[in-house]
């Protein structure tokens, strides 16, 4: 059923391979300290080959983020298709976000390092795309919460979605900064409790 010729497959593989290697370098050293030469050497492609696939260094960078974000949104969307009660929904959201980012820690770091940039430089195509993705993300969550909450719930689905993802992200960031010495399983459970019943 594959519609990809051998050449197209190879091209896609090369692209993916480059993005993976570049992602590792960007995550490790940051955008500016990672040079196109670094990426070329690490990926064992020539610089010319990189520019054949990505017009600029920035485009290469955002391609990484875009790919992984798309991947995440797809996974999340699939998960949220099932039927949940409130507790189940919160649990699945937390679990998805935790497992996904454990699997893609370097992308998480990239994402964080770019959130600041999103606030700068308007009129930027990349900024627009990232904001659209962000909106898509919240929309998925809002729709899901709307299904399990009464319309006159005292806290809006939107507020819940933003607060929940913020709480999760902060925990993950904290976990990373503390060299992963925290028990994530327990943290997950506590966040569920917190979101369901509040602090007490």
Partner DNA sequence: AATGAATGAGTATTCATTCAT
Partner DNA sequence: CATGAATGAATACTCATTCAT
126: DSSP letter = H
Provide φ and ψ at 95, rounded to 5°. Answer: -65, -45
3-state secondary structure of 93: helix
In the set 47, 125, 135, 147, which binds DNA (CB under 7 A)?
47
- Please name the residue ranges forming H helices in the chain: 6-33, 36-43, 47-53, 57-80, 86-103, 105-119, 125-148, 157-177, 184-197
Residue nearer to DNA on the CB measure, 32 or 197: 32
> Which residues are within 8 A (CB) of 167 and not within 5 positions of it... i.e. 6 or more apart?
191, 194, 195
Binding status of residue 190 toward its own copies by CB under 8 A? yes
Residue nearer to DNA on the CB measure, 46 or 75: 46
Q: CA 150 to CA 117: how far, in whole Å? A: 37
> Which residues are within 8 A (CB) of 187 and not within 5 positions of it... i.e. 6 or more apart?
171, 175
Residue nearer to its own copies on the CB measure, 1 or 177: 177
Q: Name the residue among 47, 52, 58 with its Cα closest to residue 38.
A: 47
Contacting range for DNA; rule: CB under 7 A; set: 34-42, 107-115, 147-155, 160-168: 34-42
Binding status of residue 46 toward DNA by CB under 7 A? yes
Residue nearer to DNA on the CB measure, 9 or 147: 9
In the set 90, 98, 132, 141, which binds its own copies (CB under 8 A)?
90
Size of the site for its own copies (CB under 8 A): 55
Binding status of residue 56 toward DNA by CB under 7 A? yes
Interacting residue ranges for its own copies, rule: CB under 8 A: 27-30, 32, 86, 90, 109-110, 112-121, 131, 134, 138, 145, 149, 153-156, 159-160, 162-171, 173-174, 176-177, 187, 190-191, 193-200
């Amino acid at each position: 059923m594959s519609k990809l010729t051998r050449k197209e497959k190879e091209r896609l593989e090369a692209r993916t391979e480059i993005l993976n290697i570049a992602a590792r370098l960007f995550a490790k050293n940051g955008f500016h300290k990672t040079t196109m030469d670094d990426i070329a050497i690490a990926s064992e492609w020539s610089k010319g080959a990189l520019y054949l696939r990505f017009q600029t260094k920035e485009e290469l960078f955002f391609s990484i983020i875009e790919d992984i974000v798309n991947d995440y949104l797809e996974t999340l969307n699939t998960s949220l298709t099932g039927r949940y009660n409130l507790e189940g929904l919160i649990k699945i959201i937390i679990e998805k976000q935790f497992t996904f980012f454990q699997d893609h820690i370097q992308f998480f770091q990239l994402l964080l390092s770019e959130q600041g940039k999103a606030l700068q430089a308007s009129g930027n195509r990349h900024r627009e795309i990232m904001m659209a993705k962000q909106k898509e993300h919240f929309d998925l969550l809002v729709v899901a919460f709307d299904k399990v909450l009464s319309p006159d719930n005292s806290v809006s689905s939107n507020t819940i979605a933003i607060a929940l993802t913020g709480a999760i992200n902060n925990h993950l960031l904290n976990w990373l900064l503390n060299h992963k010495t925290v028990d994530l399983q327990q943290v997950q459970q506590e966040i569920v409790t917190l979101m369901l019943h509040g602090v007490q």
